[in-house]
Copies of this chain bind each other. A is one copy, B any other.
Amino acid sequence: MRVLITGGTGYIGQHLIERCLSLGWETHLILRPKSVLAPQIQKERVAIHIHDGSTKSMIEILQKAKADCVFHLATYFCAEHRAEEITGLIESNVLFGTQLLQAMVETKTPLLVNTGTAWQHFNSAHYVPVSLYAATKQAFSDILQFFTDTKKIRAINLMIFDTYGPKDTRKKLVPFLLSQAKKVQQGESLPPLELSLGEQLMNFVYISDIIDAFITAFELLKKDQSITQEEFALSSSELLSLKDFIRLFQESIQLSFPLDFGKKPYREREVMLPWHEGKRLPGWAARISLKEGIQLTWQSLESS
């Protein structure tokens, strides 16, 4: 198998590279000139292609990669955008992907596993974006539909909620809770953590389950030729409120730090009930329980 991965420097991307290598697949990456791979990825085991931003360069990359499948994970994420991020958001989340699709057409690369976000469905509406980030993801879905409708490209869109696991340097809840726990373990006395009421439901999926889903989606596209474009939600079976999630976190690692719920207001577009109407990916379910996932993540931090 030959696969091409975009966004290989990101959290999910680096784990997907490791999985593809462990499956013995020839793994190609598209990187931007200044991208830096995670240190655990051995550069000699992957084929790196630098994209100069043009459609021509993208076509040349896909010609060389001759991939059976493209895993498109490259994204520019921001919870609340600033004016100076507009160009980067559109270029990364819309233009880059459209160039990729055009290059797939030109090089007869047939299959795509794309990464969407459940935040395209604010309060579970058909399409109401939580953020401009989510709106750009929907914008790309619209363009993808044109290509799957009219060209010989078949695609699966995986709609991701929250992800967590080892080696996560993103500014997200779990890495933050881990850093708090580490301080407590080292004997630091922490002031109470100021939080909202914490009643929003969270949908966390452990990283290895997410990676399973990407592989399962590729297998499904290969097996079922009738799929032209399908969307699946990578939802956990354990929906907990933020409050309960943090309590479970503390119980799981047997360390606690003081919490002050209700101190902060909810965000302007806080998602209280995550989207729950997405289809399940056939052959996939989240297998790692939250307790187990939290423990694995903590142990990985301990041993590093």
Binding site for B on A (CB under 8 A): 54-56, 59, 83-84, 86-87, 89-91, 94-95, 98-99, 102-103, 106, 122, 127-129, 131-132, 134-136, 138-140, 142-143, 145-146, 149-150, 268-269
Most-contacted residue by chain B among A91, A94, A99, A268 (CB, 10 A): A94
| Docked complex Cα distance between A103 and B139 (Å) | 20
Q: Assess whether B83 is in contact with A59, with CB atoms less than 8 Å apart.
A: yes
Q: Assess whether A129 is in contact with B146, with CB atoms less than 8 Å apart.
A: yes
| List of B residues within 8 angstroms of A86 by Cβ | 55, 95, 98-99, 102
| List of B residues within 8 angstroms of A149 by Cβ | 122, 128-129
A140 to chain B, nearest CB (A): 7
7 A-B contact pairs sorted by A residue (CB < 8 Å):
A55-B86, A56-B84, A83-B102, A86-B102, A94-B94, A95-B95, A139-B143
| Docked complex Cα distance between A55 and B85 (Å) | 9
Partner of A83, one of B95, B106, B143, B269: B106
| List of B residues within 8 angstroms of A138 by Cβ | 139, 142
A53 to chain B, nearest CB (A): 8
| Docked complex Cα distance between A99 and B82 (Å) | 11
| Docked complex Cα distance between A59 and B138 (Å) | 25
| Docked complex Cα distance between A233 and B89 (Å) | 30
| Docked complex Cα distance between A143 and B136 (Å) | 7
Q: Assess whether B139 is in contact with A140, with CB atoms less than 8 Å apart.
A: yes
A99 to chain B, nearest CB (A): 6
A19 to chain B, nearest CB (A): 31
19 extra A-B contacts, CB within 8 A, seeds A54-B87, A129-B149, A131-B146 = A55-B83, A56-B84, A83-B102, A86-B95, A86-B99, A90-B90, A90-B94, A90-B98, A122-B149, A127-B145, A128-B149, A129-B145, A132-B143, A134-B146, A135-B142, A139-B142, A139-B143, A142-B142, A150-B268
Most-contacted residue by chain B among A54, A59, A131, A143 (CB, 10 A): A143
A214 to chain B, nearest CB (A): 24
| List of B residues within 8 angstroms of A129 by Cβ | 142, 145-146, 149
A143 to chain B, nearest CB (A): 5
| Docked complex Cα distance between A131 and B143 (Å) | 10
A149 to chain B, nearest CB (A): 6
A218 to chain B, nearest CB (A): 25
